[in-house]
């Protein structure tokens, strides 16, 4: 939408026209948009790129008003009301606010209002960088059980190489599974002049397809119109057949893990191959300070994350029972919540 912090009005106009057309044909559409920081920089005439978080938050605060005003004006031409929904990682990490966000989006759609979702950059404490909204779009798609996720790009889709540098680069039309090869291709083919580029889009596609949602990454003048006219455009990513249920989506991607558990090879095998739960006997090391009921990452002995889950015990409690058989938990703690540290129902293999 922005080119060198200047609004591409022709793109916004086409986008509004195409979304309004879909809306009035009975399609339910949610728009996940970036651009608040760029518009804030333009409004305040800040030429220098800022790295510190507070100035970026201030720019986002100013820019968000102008961003929504722009959308209001273009969608008014098509008599389509809009509603702003600002989300942060913490909103999706709490089950209650996760469900509230879901209900808000569904209610807006029921009222024939276009929800426009943006990262709440004004309060984000982590580094703000391009790519957040790609991931956010995948999480929002999962939040509402979308039938399709469209990710706009500066180029027509995923190429085998950088098409601006390599004339032999060809468009990859279909991807059945996002594996390490596809991730390497995305890294090599990234031509966008922003942090992340195609790599963040592939990451988002990986999340959404795991939710069972097909994804198309593409661009061009009439990308949205072409998609819904069944023209072959962009790169199509097939959804995974074995996809995550709603609650496990929240466990895997809605949470920001509060700590890490390093487990031995036997425990990893039991979790990944046998569908078991995590027992204290398989835990080698605890990292971080977390409470019972919070999310943690599971790492193997090489330090690679392979799962996430909700723990029954706090970090302090686990320090006392790591490596211990379940039958001896009460002896070491004086009480016992469960034989498992993480039950299979609260565990997601990544």
The CA distance from 154 to 157, in Å, is: 8
Nearest to 156 by CA among 71, 229, 227: 227
Confidence (pLDDT) at 131: 44
pLDDT tens digits for range 222-259: 899 889 988 889 999 999 887 777 777 777 777 678 89
Confidence (pLDDT) at 193: 44
Confidence (pLDDT) at 236: 96
Higher-confidence residue: 69 or 7? 69
Is the pLDDT assigned to residue 77 strictly greater than 60?
yes
Higher-confidence residue: 48 or 218? 218
Query: How many residues appear in the chain?
Result: 350
Please determine whether the domains at 2-244 and 257-349 fall in the same fold group of CATH.
no
Out of 1.20.1560.10, 3.40.50.12160, 3.40.50.1000, 3.40.1160.10, the CATH code matching 2-244 is 3.40.1160.10
| Percent of the chain predicted with pLDDT > 70 | 90
For the chain, give the mean pLDDT.
86
pLDDT tens digits for range 302-348: 999 999 999 999 999 999 999 999 999 999 999 999 999 999 888 98
Would you place residue 186 in the very low, low, confident or very high pLDDT band (cuts 50, 70, 90)?
confident
| Percent of the chain predicted with pLDDT > 90 | 48
Would you place residue 104 in the very low, low, confident or very high pLDDT band (cuts 50, 70, 90)?
very high
Confidence (pLDDT) at 127: 44
Instruction: Give the range with max mean pLDDT: 27-36, 75-84, 198-207, 293-302.
Output: 75-84
Name which of 121-135, 192-206, 231-245, 303-317 the model is least confident about: 121-135
Higher-confidence residue: 181 or 81? 81
Is the pLDDT assigned to residue 279 strictly greater than 60?
yes
Out of 3.90.79.10, 3.30.200.20, 3.30.70.360, 2.30.130.10, the CATH code matching 257-349 is 2.30.130.10
Residue spans of the domains in the chain: they are 2-244, 257-349
């Amino acid at each position: 939408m922005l080119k060198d912090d200047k609004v591409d009005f022709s793109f916004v106009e086409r986008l509004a026209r195409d979304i309004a057309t879909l809306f009035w044909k009975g399609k339910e559409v949610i728009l996940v948009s970036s651009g608040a920081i760029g518009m804030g920089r333009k409004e305040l005439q800040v030429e220098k790129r800022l790295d510190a978080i507070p100035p970026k938050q201030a720019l986002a605060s100013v820019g968000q008003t102008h961003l929504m005003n722009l959308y209001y004006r273009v969608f008014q031409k098509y008599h389509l009301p809009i509603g702003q929904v600002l989300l942060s990682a913490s909103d999706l990490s709490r089950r209650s606010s996760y469900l509230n966000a879901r209900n808000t989006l569904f209610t807006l759609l029921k009222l024939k209002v276009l929800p426009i979702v943006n990262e709440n950059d004004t309060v984000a404490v982590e580094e703000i960088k391009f790519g957040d909204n790609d991931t956010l779009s995948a999480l929002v798609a999962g939040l509402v059980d979308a039938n399709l996720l469209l990710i706009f790009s500066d180029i027509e889709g995923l190429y085998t190489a950088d098409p601006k540098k390599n004339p032999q680069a060809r468009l990859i039309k279909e991807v059945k599974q996002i594996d390490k090869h596809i991730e390497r291709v995305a890294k090599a083919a990234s031509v966008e002049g922003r942090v992340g580029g195609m790599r963040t889009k592939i990451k988002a596609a990986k999340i959404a397809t795991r939710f069972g949602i097909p994804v198309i990454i593409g661009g061009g003048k009439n990308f949205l119109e072409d998609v819904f006219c069944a023209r072959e455009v962009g790169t199509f990513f097939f959804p995974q057949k074995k996809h995550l249920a709603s609650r496990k989506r929240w466990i895997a991607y809605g949470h920001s893990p509060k700590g890490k558990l390093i487990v031995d090879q036997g425990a990893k095998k039991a979790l990944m191959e046998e569908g078991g739960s995590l027992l204290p006997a398989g835990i080698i090391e605890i990292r971080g300070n977390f409470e019972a009921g919070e999310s943690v990452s599971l790492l193997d002995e090489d330090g690679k994350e392979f799962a996430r889950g909700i723990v029954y015990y706090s970090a302090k409690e686990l320090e006392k029972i790591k490596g211990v058989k379940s039958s001896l938990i009460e002896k070491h703690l004086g009480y016992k919540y469960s034989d498992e540290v993480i039950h299979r129902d609260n565990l997601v293999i990544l």
